[in-house]
Structure 1
Amino acid sequence: MGEPASEADILLDRPEVGICVITLNRPSRLNALLRDTVGRLNAMLDDLAADPECRAVIITGAGRGFCSGQDLEASNARNQTGSSGVVEKLHWQQQFAGMGGRIRAMPKLVIAAVNGPAVGAGMAMALSCDVRIATSSARFLVAAVRIGLTGGESGISYLLPRMIGASRAFDILLTGRSIEAEEAESMGLVRSISAPESLLDDAIAYARSVLANSPYSVAHTKKLMWANLDANSYEAAVEAENRVQILGTMTQDYGEATAAFMGKRPPHFTGR
């Protein structure tokens, strides 16, 4: 069954103030996800979402892969022994899908630093992030359609067509083919391609550029963007924008930003 689950399957680092890095750490299995790993990752995401000292989260993988999805050896072992019933399987399916839901909902910038294959739930995790930066060895793959399941996994059938268009998403999900890094960049799925040795530094630099804005601005711009992907009308989207803009004018950081602009100096944001 490969490596057993352990606390070291997920690493958390804080390279500088406000920025947290989550590293999936089962490199010999391309960071495949065991059930216990998913449980710990969800708990970590919950903790970081509530942590006022964390303003940006970068998710990456150790070694050659970002995340190869569910550990199929462990899954096959359960199937052979019949140790998982329907209720248990549904619970863990919801836990796997819950990773993306947490990433989207947390009021922090979340960046996927995709250093290699992002497969199945790993691809869903990357798509759930606000921004993706990749290396040339990155590729995105939903192979479930090839093993008797569907291409709809952990929100992929919702996210992918919104990011690259329905026609491209149909092609990718029905064939089960991979999206290589160059194609991912050309279709806007990833922001940019970095050299492997500079991927994490580039992700940190990008996070730093976003965190130069006020915490309110970043958190509520993210919330608006995700919400308005589902707005049922232009008017509904503008109504949501209007409310958030007016609330923003009541923050101390807005007063600081306008004073800094007039004084031709950098603003000093406090998150108030």
Structure 2
Amino acid sequence: MSFVLVDRPVPEVAVVTLNRPERMNAMAYDVMVPFREALTTLGDDNGVRAVVVTGAGSGFCSGADQESAGVPPGVAGVTRPTYALRAMEALEDVVLTIRRLHQPVIAAVNGAAIGGGLCLALACDLRLAAPAAYFRAAGINNGLTASELGLSFLLPRAVGSTRAADIMLTGRDVSAEEAERIGLVSSVHADVVAAAVEVGQRIAGFSQPGVELTKKSLHAGQSATSLETYLSSEGIGQLYLRLLTSNFEEATVARREGRAPVFTDER
């Protein structure tokens, strides 16, 4: 049985499904390692313009697997402290791989996104939810810190510092309805995967370097220390595409002709 499934419902959008529903797609290493490998492969496929991540069954991802976590890669012969470091690095690399992908990554949160599963959703560029989805920063409920896998970096940037503190310090569940209201997800859909694929198709209609630069700009803008120091990087991105492609001219003509533009990313 494959714990990670990759599907192409349309040529330009790939759907990656965590496929261990009996464990609510918990973050065992035999799930997370092939998940990262699948993402890396898709990142190198220039025909894929957007990636959708979802879970099989009733869960998106339930966080750490406390019963059958498996063995992280690269731990042969190491001591217990080093084993712990390698184990965390393997999971951290999944989050970083999502962020580094050329393509936007859309989380189609079909059910529970708990602990590390919440972190996976937050690492994605967009999040959509099914009505049954819910979110929990579970570390605090387990006698640990709620901060893990970038949660205390990503969550305040998604919902604001006060709401992030409420979610992380209380360990309460956030419903799909509340998640939409506070901006944790952009929308709620009965068929969340289909909705995410539709969003991916819309993204695929735009300039490929334009989308890639926009993703980079969103990440850089969240970490910028000031607007003044950041503005020029956005301006350079605009000039880059304005000078090296005919996309802007094509968009102007397409509007005049009442049709969708066709961006070639060439001049």
* TM-score, normalised by the number of residues in structure 2: 0.91
Instruction: Report how many residues are paired.
Output: 260
Match of 1:223 among 198, 206, 216: 216
> Deviation at 1:30?
0.7
More deviation, 236-245/143-152: 143-152
Please name the residue that 2:101 is paired with: 106
Match of 2:141 among 138, 146, 169: 146
> Deviation at 1:76?
10
1:265 aligns with 2:259: yes
Secondary structure at the residue paired with 1:74?
coil
Secondary structure at the residue paired with 1:250?
helix
Instruction: Give the AA of the match of 1:193.
Output: V
Instruction: Give the AA of the match of 2:217.
Output: L
Cα contact 1:97–1:153 (8 A) shared by 2: no
Distance 1:84 1:62 in 2: 35
Residue correspondence of structure 1 range 117-128 to structure 2 within 5 A: 117-128=112-123
Go from structure 1 to structure 2 and tell me whether the alpha carbon gap of 1:77 and 1:205 turns closer, same or farther (over 3 Å shift).
closer
Structure 1: tracts of 5 or more residues without a match: 1-5
Please name the residue that 2:75 is paired with: none
1:134 aligns with 2:125: no
Distance 1:245 1:73 in 2: 50
Distance 1:262 1:64 in 2: 47
1:38 aligns with 2:46: no
1:194 aligns with 2:189: yes
Instruction: Give the AA of the match of 1:73.
Output: E
Instruction: Give the AA of the match of 2:164.
Output: A
Distance 2:147 2:265 in 1: 38
Distance 1:201 1:238 in 2: 36
Distance 2:21 2:164 in 1: 29
> Deviation at 1:253?
4.9
Distance 2:28 2:55 in 1: 15
> Deviation at 1:263?
4.2
Please name the residue that 1:166 is paired with: 161
Secondary structure at the residue paired with 2:68?
helix
Q: Once the two structures are superposed, what CA deviation does each residue of 1:148-180 show, in whole Å capped at 9, x if it has no partner? A: 321111111101111111111112111211211
Cα contact 1:114–1:135 (8 A) shared by 2: yes
> Deviation at 1:77?
11
Q: Once the two structures are superposed, what CA deviation does each residue of 1:8-38 show, in whole Å capped at 9, x if it has no partner? A: 1000001112100000001111111211221
Identity of aligned residues (%): 39
Residue correspondence of structure 1 range 212-251 to structure 2 within 5 A: 212-251=205-244
Please name the residue that 1:3 is paired with: none
More deviation, 43-52/121-130: 43-52
Please name the residue that 1:60 is paired with: 54
Please name the residue that 2:173 is paired with: 178
> Deviation at 1:70?
1.8
Q: Once the two structures are superposed, what CA deviation does each residue of 1:85-142 show, in whole Å capped at 9, x if it has no partner? A: 1211211211112222111121211110000000111110101111111011101112
Structure 2: tracts of 5 or more residues without a match: 73-77
* TM-score, normalised by the number of residues in structure 1: 0.89
